[in-house]
Structure 1
Amino acid sequence: MTTTLQQLPVGQVPWEIRGELILNCNCTVFCPCVVSLGKHAPTEGYCQAWAGVRIDEGHYGDTPLSGLNVGLLLEIPGLMARGNWTAAAFIDDRAGPEAHEALVHIFSGAARGTTGLFGMLVSDFLGAESAPVTFETEGKTRRLTVGRKIQGEVVPVRGADPDQDIVVRNTEYWMGPDITVATATRGRVRAFGRVWDFDGRSAEICAIDWRGPGR
């Protein structure tokens, strides 16, 4: 009997996601985790963040993921590398049952690969909810909306040359090597008992090319 990719155990299914990620956290200036690789504490001593992922091209085994979006909520009590994270995911309600399950595997870390670190660092996964998740781009502005739970908008920080973004390049950061320095013009979270307002705080924009189960 032939085994399809979808019949492989979780953690052995090949997957890939290419697109863009935006993130807004409570740091007052650009997140120090990017260049310290989690060895420097967030500016407030702890991290609270929301993030959005736009999947331009992607698959999990035989299941296509292209065109879907994901929202994330993250809490880190101190140094990123020390773990004990709390996390939750909001899966695009346009995803069918197989795609929904695939995205839960990927963003819980169970699928291993790039996001496998979630499985090691997250001690409290609050769950994955199906929700209307939109990721919009207008000029240099990116917007994430997850129903009434997350309303986010980020823009690149203005540089000396307004036509050139400020980009931290060639990092070993897990999200991707090149991180655009940004700020949130809107960063509201009302979910899982959290009420956050991070307008004007640190934000990041990053092209992603994630895969698994190997790196």
Structure 2
Amino acid sequence: MPWNLTGTYLESCNCDVVCPCTTSGLTAPADHERCQVTFAFHVDSGNVDGVDVSDRNVAVFIDGPRVMADGGWQVALYIDASADDGQASALGKVFSGQVGGPMAVLTPLIGEVLGVQRVPMEYRDDGRRHAVRVGDAIDIEIEDQIAPQYGADGPVMGLTGMFHPVNSTLTIARSTRATGNGVYGRSWDFTGGNGHHAPFTWAA
């Protein structure tokens, strides 16, 4: 099944800036007892085995152990309610790793799929700020960080050479809003915590 996607993503987790998981290839302990992270994607353009999935959104929530490489992750998948049945099925296959690609690298670490839901989703990139709303469950905004010595118009700080499913280069960001409500029994407020943003180009 040939497919390709391009777009942008944002990430928010309960670690402090910068997440030890990201900078260690998942082998260093997170800042807290569990690693809880949301990845949100906006597909600018994409085709999955002939199905056009452009302008659709997907989010993945992960609740993992403090050392994420230990596996046993609990994972929930959210797909944009604006996707029709064919698009939802195609996106589900890509973001669950069923048809190869970067997400397939993570599937051996998954211990339980909490569920798959289709919900209204809004994703926005606005300069250094990036936001997503996932139904009534997840509400996130992150802001790419600039070293204060450079002033407001300085370069965004970033990480390079990362082992990461989305991109090997990520911005360093901090959440200005990061809340969850009733996500399979979980609620949180990670405002002020770690965030990342990057473009992505995937194909298999």
With the length of structure 1 as denominator, give the TM-score of the two structures.
Answer: 0.88
Return the offset for 1:172: 3.1
C-alpha deviations, 1:66-122, integer Å up to 9, x for none?
Answer: 110112211111222221111111100111111101111112121222110232111
Q: How does 1:3-82 map to 2 (within 5 A)?
A: 13-82=1-70
State the aligned residue count.
Answer: 200
Name the residue aligned to 2:156. Answer: 165
Secondary structure of the residue that 2:105 maps to in structure 1?
helix
Name the residue aligned to 2:74. Answer: 86
Secondary structure of the residue that 1:116 maps to in structure 2?
helix
Structure 1: stretches of 5+ with no match in the other structure: 1-12
Secondary structure of the residue that 1:200 maps to in structure 2?
coil
Name the residue aligned to 2:168. Answer: 177
Which residue among 133, 149, 157 is the counterpart of 2:121? 133
When structure 1 is superposed on structure 2, of 16-25 and 114-123 the one drifting more is: 114-123
Tell me how far apart the structure 2 counterparts of residues 31 and 65 of structure 1 sit (CA, whole Å). Answer: 31
Secondary structure of the residue that 1:152 maps to in structure 2?
strand
Name the residue aligned to 2:200. Answer: 208
When structure 1 is superposed on structure 2, of 155-164 and 194-203 the one drifting more is: 155-164
When structure 1 is superposed on structure 2, of 78-87 and 195-204 the one drifting more is: 78-87
C-alpha deviations, 1:155-184, integer Å up to 9, x for none?
Answer: 012213233100112323222111100000
Tell me how far apart the structure 2 counterparts of residues 78 and 98 of structure 1 sit (CA, whole Å). Answer: 36
With the length of structure 2 as denominator, give the TM-score of the two structures.
Answer: 0.93
Letter in 2 for 1:23: E
Tell me how far apart the structure 1 counterparts of residues 16 and 49 of structure 2 sit (CA, whole Å). Answer: 40
Structure 2: stretches of 5+ with no match in the other structure: none
Return the offset for 1:23: 0.8
RMSD: 1.3
Checking the alignment, whether the CA contact within 8 Å between 1:50 and 1:189 is kept in structure 2 is no
Percent of residue pairs identical: 26
Name the residue aligned to 1:107. Answer: 95
Checking the alignment, whether the CA contact within 8 Å between 2:17 and 2:173 is kept in structure 1 is no
Structure 1 moving runs of 4+ over 3 Å: none
Checking the alignment, whether the CA contact within 8 Å between 1:108 and 1:125 is kept in structure 2 is no
